Structure 1
Amino acid sequence: MDSFPDDDDRQFAFTLARGLEILRCFLPGVAALGNKDFVERTGLSKATVSRLAYTLTELGYLRHDKVARNYRLGGGVLSMGYPLLASMRIRQIARPFMRELALQVRGSVSLGMRDQSNMVYIECCPGDKRIRARPDVGAVRPILRMAMGRAWLAAVTPQEREVALNRLRIAVPDQWQLYGAQVQQALHDYQQAGVCFSYGDMQKNAYGVAAPLCAQIDAETLVFNCAVPAQSAQGRRLIDDIAPRLLTMVSNVEIAAGLR
């Protein structure tokens, strides 16, 4: 879990934050959780977890199975996210360009935004079936392990980047230990070529290249990612062929969206 601000931050609603942390305990493949699971994942007391789970159930964000004595996410969670997706006109603008690139390179092209220590996918054009676990809209992946996350770090202001990196070092120290050097290389790559890479760090059989939009959309830095099977990106194809195609696609989206 990402760390909370200091206790003396009077503007921060800790009870609300703890309730949201309960909802964040659910991950793909983890459909049902009990109070014991919430305690283990959040570090909160049993009494606090019980109170928060009850409240979230009453509000429709959780569903309680009295027989199995566990909780599942409720429809309230899904309905909260839809207005955000529906308001993102950039998704409709980018979709045909993304689909065209996915067909050209026989890969998967996605658009994402940051969510704490992860990137969340807001549009996806599936590509080559050899890439396992192809993401869907709403899927989250660790920032440090993927080209998309590294491109987000490269695109934001130095101050925003430093704050994010400090939080990542605290929230996911194991990932920082493993991928910190690749992140620094990605920042260098972005300065040189305008893109960031991942060579099997997210999936062993997939290479990725990512580039951000030139301007924020609704105060969000959005990033396009192109993933291709590792065996099809041998040699310098990822650098010399796929990366330029991705940059051209991003430029076309920016023009279509009136960003340049």
Structure 2
Amino acid sequence: MGRRSERLSKQGMLASDLAGDGDVIQVVSRAFDILRCFEGHDARLGNLEISNRCGLPRSTVSRLTHTLTRMGQLAYLPADQKYRIGSSAVAMSASMMRGLQVRNLIRLRLQEVAEQVPGTIGFTIPDRFHMVYLEYARADHALGLHSTTGSRIAMGRTAAGHAYTAALDEDVGNALINDIAREMPEDAKILRGKIAGNRECLRDNGYVLAGGLWTPHITGIATPIWSPQYQTYVVVTIGLLAAMYDEQRLQDEIAPILRQLSGTISMMVQNADSGLTSAPVPDAPPAPTAQKKMLPEGMNELEAGTRRPRPARSLRAGDGGR
């Protein structure tokens, strides 16, 4: 038991577990894979669609969807011969979210930045090979940028995912990339080619840059924050139009804003993880002077690893590295 707990403390989702090895009960893992297929409360999927998305035999999917329906995790729609998320799953989600008052504060901070920056600002958490938006804000004039709370974005093709993998200890990050390669080989190839540079950028600057991976029109910058509550890194990310923001402009104008935002959110996360969800949070610091140049005229972004994790502030340049 002690050895298993020690392994889990290294990487909440073990690389070997993701690969189907070790002591994971596969039927439980597959049941959660099925639930992950339902993106959004209104998603409706049949067994064949679920089978295609999960890569599982249709007979296996049929048995699992039947069980999940009996448990209330899924609801069967006879007229459509499809399933949707069930009442028990919705109730469980609502119960879990009830204690996260800090998310309301984070949402306000994201929106404040969205009013200053012509892009999207996200607060994400890892789920297997994706990052999921826990909170999301978007500037009114953010052209070509469309996501929402609950949206899933691939680790290999987003600044948030690149920042997350770069924050992991090297052996854990490499193992995760190997696991991604089994299901998403092209994404793993991208990560392998950039992981060394991402780690260096994170170590020296406190953030990671990634552009043109999800779409050639979008570029992003992201910073990981360690969450003691979830024993993983959450990531604050900002996405912008590449035509407006090249790498230099991201570093000069957006990076200071991201540092301020991630510092404020890090304080919120640490307070929440200490049970201080009602603790006062300082007002967002004034935006740097460079921000005034940002809007075009006319226009009113695991676990720790073998070492003990440190708060995100230790990831910033000048703080002595990770």
Question: Please, what TM-score do these two structures have when normalized by structure 1?
Answer: 0.85
1:110 is aligned to 2:132: no
Relative to structure 1, the CA distance from residue 14 to residue 50 in structure 2 (aligned partners, 3 Å threshold; closer, same or farther) is same
Deviations 1:22-62 (A, max 9, x none): 22233469933222233333344443322211111122222
What count of residue pairs does the alignment treat as equivalent? Answer: 256
Correspondence for 1:229: 241
Q: Is the 8 A contact 1:150 1:187 kept in 2?
A: no
Deviation at 1:214, TM superposition (A): 5.2
Q: Is the 8 A contact 2:177 2:192 kept in 1?
A: no
Deviation at 1:248, TM superposition (A): 1.8
Q: Is the 8 A contact 1:224 1:250 kept in 2?
A: yes
Q: Where does 1:185-200 land on structure 2 (aligned, <5 Å)? A: 185-200=197-212
Q: Where does 1:215-254 land on structure 2 (aligned, <5 Å)? A: 216-234=228-246, 236-254=248-266
Deviation at 1:215, TM superposition (A): 5.3
What amino acid maps onto 1:119 in structure 2? Answer: M
Relative to structure 1, the CA distance from residue 213 to residue 48 in structure 2 (aligned partners, 3 Å threshold; closer, same or farther) is closer
What amino acid maps onto 1:153 in structure 2? Answer: T
Deviates more, 1:150-159 or 1:136-145: 150-159
Distance in structure 1 (CA, Å) of the matches to 2:118 and 2:191: 27
Distance in structure 2 (CA, Å) of the matches to 1:33 and 1:102: 34
Question: Aligned with 1:112: secondary structure?
Answer: strand
Correspondence for 1:53: 65
From 158, 171, 176, give the equivalent of 1:159.
171
Correspondence for 1:142: 154
1:119 is aligned to 2:131: yes
Distance in structure 1 (CA, Å) of the matches to 2:51 and 2:225: 39
Deviates more, 1:37-46 or 1:242-251: 37-46
Relative to structure 1, the CA distance from residue 183 to residue 109 in structure 2 (aligned partners, 3 Å threshold; closer, same or farther) is same
Question: Aligned with 1:233: secondary structure?
Answer: coil
Deviation at 1:89, TM superposition (A): 4.3
What amino acid maps onto 2:43 in structure 1? Answer: A
Correspondence for 1:5: 20
Listed as ranges, the gaps of 5+ residues in structure 2 are 1-16, 272-310, 314-322
From 172, 181, 184, give the equivalent of 1:169.
181
Name the % identity. 26
Q: Is the 8 A contact 2:119 2:139 kept in 1?
A: yes
Relative to structure 1, the CA distance from residue 119 to residue 98 in structure 2 (aligned partners, 3 Å threshold; closer, same or farther) is same
Correspondence for 1:40: 52
Q: Is the 8 A contact 1:131 1:206 kept in 2?
A: no
From 211, 214, 239, give the equivalent of 1:202.
214
Listed as ranges, the gaps of 5+ residues in structure 1 are none
Distance in structure 1 (CA, Å) of the matches to 2:80 and 2:173: 44
Relative to structure 1, the CA distance from residue 94 to residue 42 in structure 2 (aligned partners, 3 Å threshold; closer, same or farther) is closer
What amino acid maps onto 2:121 in structure 1? Answer: V
Deviates more, 1:195-204 or 1:22-31: 22-31
Deviates more, 1:55-64 or 1:108-117: 55-64
Distance in structure 2 (CA, Å) of the matches to 1:189 and 1:164: 20
Deviations 1:195-225 (A, max 9, x none): 1112132233222100122554431311100
Deviations 1:177-203 (A, max 9, x none): 345323443222212211111213223
Relative to structure 1, the CA distance from residue 12 to residue 177 in structure 2 (aligned partners, 3 Å threshold; closer, same or farther) is closer
* Aligned residues: CA RMSD: 2.7
Deviations 1:131-181 (A, max 9, x none): 435222211100111111111112222333233222112221122234532
* Greater relative CO, 1 or 2 (CA 8 Å, sep 6+): 2
Relative to structure 1, the CA distance from residue 207 to residue 18 in structure 2 (aligned partners, 3 Å threshold; closer, same or farther) is same
Question: Aligned with 1:130: secondary structure?
Answer: coil
What amino acid maps onto 1:68 in structure 2? Answer: D
Deviation at 1:124, TM superposition (A): 1.1
Correspondence for 1:70: 82
Relative to structure 1, the CA distance from residue 187 to residue 83 in structure 2 (aligned partners, 3 Å threshold; closer, same or farther) is farther
What amino acid maps onto 1:72 in structure 2? Answer: R
Distance in structure 2 (CA, Å) of the matches to 1:62 and 1:98: 33
Question: Aligned with 1:56: secondary structure?
Answer: helix
Q: Is the 8 A contact 1:128 1:228 kept in 2?
A: no
Q: Is the 8 A contact 1:144 1:180 kept in 2?
A: no
Deviates more, 1:66-75 or 1:83-92: 83-92
Q: Is the 8 A contact 2:207 2:221 kept in 1?
A: yes
Deviation at 1:84, TM superposition (A): 3.5
